[in-house]
Structure 1
Amino acid sequence: MKNLLSIEHISNEQIATILNRASELEAGAPSQLDQSYNVANLFFEPSTRTKTSFEMAERKIGVTVIPFETGFSSTLKGESLYDTVKTLESIGLDAVVIRHKMDAYYEELLEGINLSVINAGDGAGQHPSQSLLDLYTIQKEFGRFKGLNITIAGDVSHSRVAKSDAYALRSLGANVNFVCPKEWQGEFEAHQSWDDLIETSDVIMLLRVQHERHEGNANFSKENYHAQYGLTSEREKQMKDGAIIMHPAPVNRGVEIDSTLVECERSRIFDQVSNGVFIRMAILETILKGRM
C-alpha cells in the first residue's frame, strides 16, 4: 500500500492488519522499519490532535521529520500543492502527511508524484487515520464490529469523520445510525431525535458542531442544539450497560456533550487520542514498507 487517501480505498483485510499492528506497537513491539525515511507534515488547516499525533508516531518509529510550516511556504506565493509536493519529493522525502481544506485534494497529486501521500483530512471528504483510530478504539472495547449499534450525532453533512466511519463500520458489519437536524444529514438518512437509539446503542459517537459553518443562521443556537441533539446527563443515564461515548474532538463542551461527561466512566474521548498514536505508527510503517 503506497498511499492512504480514503478509507474506501482499503480492504477489510488491510484494516485488520493495521489494527493488529497498532495493538502490537501499543504492547511495545519494535518498529519494523529497517532503513531511514524522511517525512513532512503539511497541514493547511489548524490541527492539534492529528498533527501532533503524526509527529509523535513518526518519532516513535524512527522516521526523520522534516519541518514544514505552511505559513512560511511558497504556497503563500501562489505555488500549487502539486508543485510543493513535487519539490519535497525532489529534495528526497519519502512521504508527506497532508491536511487540506479542498475535498479530494490528492487527486491532483496522483499523476506525477512518486512519494507516498497520507491523507490527514480533506475538506468535508475523508479522514482515514481518524476512522482507523476510531475502529481501533471500538475493537479494543468490544473485540468485534459485526452487530454493534453505532449512533453518530452531529454535523454529519460537513463531517469527514462521519463519512469515513460510516463507510468502514458498515463494511465491517456494524449497524450505523445518525442523529442530527434534517438539514445536516447530507447524503445520509438521519433521525431527528434520540428516540429508540439512546437505549440500544453500543457506541454514541458525537461530532463537533462546526460553528464556523453556521454563523448567521438565526435558526441555530447552542442551547437548542444541546437540548435536542446533545448528549445530556439525562440521556447518558439511559444508555445501556457497557455502552461507550466517543468524540473525534475538539469538543464543544455543553453543546455536543455535557462537560461532566467528557471524562466520565463511559467516555473514551482521550483514549481515542492515545490510540491515534499507535494507529498512525502502524499506518506509517505500512505505507513506508510498501515503498520498499
Structure 2
Amino acid sequence: MAEQGPDWQEAFLQAHALPPAYLDSALKWFAPVANLLVEHQNGARRPLLVAVNGSQGSGKSTLCAYLVSRFRHEHGLVALSLSLDDFYLTRAERQELAASVHPLFATRGVPGTHDMALLLKTLEAMLAGETPVIPRFDKATDDRAPAEAWEYPEAPVDIILLEGWCLGARSVDTAELAVPVNALESLEDTDGAWRDRVNQALATDFPVLYDLVDEWLMLKAPSFDCVYRWRLEQEEKLAQRRAGSGVMSAEEVGRFIQHYQRVTNHCLQQLPRRVNHLFTLDSDRKIESYLAAPGVRG
C-alpha cells in the first residue's frame, strides 16, 4: 500500500540536508522516470535491477535515496539502494593486491578492488526473491564494516538500485592504455601494469554483472574537470558529520581522483549512447536535459 502525502518528501529533505529546490528538480526530472521504472517492474517476473552511473560527487546516492522513498510512498513498492562501494575488498585484501600486483591497488575504487563474487551472490539472491544480508563499507576506516553492521532488506524487494561510478565501463584495446592520462599514471604506473590489471577486471569481472541489469541510468558530468570540486564538496560534508575523522585533505582528494580519471573519461565518452535514461548535468550538478533511449545492455 502506497503511503501518500507530502510528509515523506519533507523527511527526505531533512535526512539528506537538502534544500526545497531539490524536490522541484526531482519532480520535474526524476518522478517521470520513476513512473517508467514502476511500469517496467509491474511487467517483470522478478525484481527490477537498475544500474546508476555517475562520476564521483554527481549525486548518485541522493538520487537513489529519492527513488527508494518515492517507490515506497507513492507506489507501495519495496526498493533498496546498493552501492558498488559497499562491495570493496577488505583493506587487508587490497594491501595483499598492492604487494603482489601493484602498489596502487591499496587505494579503493577502481575495477579490481571490488569483491565481485560477493556482489553477484548478493544480487542473484535478491533477484530470486531472497533477503540476503547486505555488506557495508566504512570509509572512515577504509575497510569493510564488521558483519554485525551489515543490513537485511525489510522484505523481498521489488526494485534494486545499484549505483557506482564505473558501472557500465568496458575494457579497451590495450593500445589505448599506453599513454598516461595524468601524473599518477605517469609517475606511479610507469610500466602500465596497474591500468592493465584494471582493464582486465573490466573484461572479466563486470560483463556478468551487466547481464543482470534491466535498466541503465546515467548522471553525466560535463567533464572530468568537475570531479575534483564535486569530490572535495563530498569530503567537506563528511568532515561535518565525522568531526574530521577519516576525511581527505584537498591535496589528498586531488591525488585520489586521478585513480578514477581514465575510466571516468571512458564512461563520459561511451555510456551516453548505451543507457536507457541519460541526465546531462551542468558544472553545478543541475540537470540540463534528459534523454530516453532504448540503450544497449551494458
Question: TM tier, shorter chain?
Answer: under 0.3
Superposition TM-score, scaled by structure 2 size: 0.26
Superposition TM-score, scaled by structure 1 size: 0.26
